[in-house]
Amino acid sequence: MSLESPDAPSASEPPARPGSRAALRIAAATAAFGLAGVLASAPAAAEEADPADRYVALGDSFTAGPFIPVTSGDPLLCLRSTNNYPQRVAEALGAADFTDASCSGAVTEHMTERQDLSLGQSNAPQFDALTPDTTLVTVGIGGNDLGFGEVVLRCAEESVTDPGGDPCRRHYEQDDGSDELAGRIPETGEKVAAVLEGIRERSPRATVVVVGYLQLLPEKKGCWPVVPVAEGDVGYLDSVQSALNAELEARAAEAGAVFADVFERGRDMCAPASEKWVEGIFPTRPAAPVHPNRSGMDEVGDRVLEALGVREHSPQA
């Protein structure tokens, strides 16, 4: 089978003279072949992917929503709520295909490694949910890498020794005067940057949204003993969390991702029960201690939608 153009001269034919009909036919055939090649090689991404086509949610317990009714999913001990922010986003977008891969207790390594849970259960690597045709990824991760749980428990214990002082800050102060928690911020940022790179490699067409963490404490005045953080440690811990959110925002910008800013004062663990978005050590609404409640999840969902440029927050709006 010949690969020559039907208008191409044979080896025995003399070359076509410039301006001759044969030359014009050859030029036209060459141009048409070249145009077809350009069209064939044009990236399919010229047509923007609709985020609602295939949405995957990744993250830890601030994404999963432990103990917010109703817990569902497999494995059950990931404690994913049917009223967490990924569900709200999926419903508002009318997502054609939605996977919530988040799991309570997850750290960045659980994006690529299996997460062992109790009772013999485990959650598959969250990146397993990503595919080349995924069009939207939300990711809320980094809090456990910083050590949210450990810090809360340590500061609660230390507060009993000096409720009016700053025993927790002093606990994390190093011999050289540096702060251990401050040092964890860039380390966590590097891990999150690797996660964002991994998402881009697996789902190059996806819009990626990095979701910040709802503020846990007031800027200054706390509410000991309802929330057992010593008076002088309230501002300290708030500044650490603010630094984490700033780090997440910076890493999102570097990776070309969208950042959903959920910062809001007056909605922390010390706020009145009807106004708080994060429950305290002793929850007043169904939610895990020191975690978002239903109102908090709804707000985070709305902030994600706003970051995506979606004005209507529900299909009924």
What is the H or E stretch that residue 216 is in? none
Q: Round to whole Å and give the CA distance between 200 and 218.
A: 35
Q: Round to whole Å and give the CA distance between 87 and 297.
A: 10
Q: Give the active site residue among 81, 102, 159, 291.
A: 291
Q: Is 171 a catalytic residue?
A: no
Q: Round to whole Å and give the CA distance between 259 and 124.
A: 26
For residue 92, give both structure tokens: 């508002």
Of 188, 295, 307, the closest CA to residue 250 belongs to 188
176 C-beta neighbours (distance < 10 Å), count: 5
What is the H or E stretch that residue 167 is in? helix 167-172
Contact predicate 297/88, CB 8 Å: yes
Q: Which amino acid is at 118?
A: S
What is the H or E stretch that residue 257 is in? none
Cβ-proximal residues to 137 (8 Å cutoff; 6+ apart), any chain = 55, 56, 57, 58, 130, 199, 203, 206, 207, 208, 209
Contact predicate 310/92, CB 8 Å: yes
For residue 115, give both structure tokens: 């997460």
Q: Is 61 a catalytic residue?
A: yes
Q: Which amino acid is at 250?
A: A
For residue 273, give both structure tokens: 């029960």
3-class DSSP string for 61-123: HHHHCCCCCCEECCCHHHCEECCCHHHHHHHHHCCCCEEECCCCCCCHHHHCCCEECCCCCEE
Q: Give the active site residue among 61, 81, 159, 203.
A: 61
Of 3, 10, 1, 89, the closest CA to residue 51 belongs to 89
Q: Round to whole Å and give the CA distance between 313 and 7.
A: 60
Active-site residue list: 61, 291
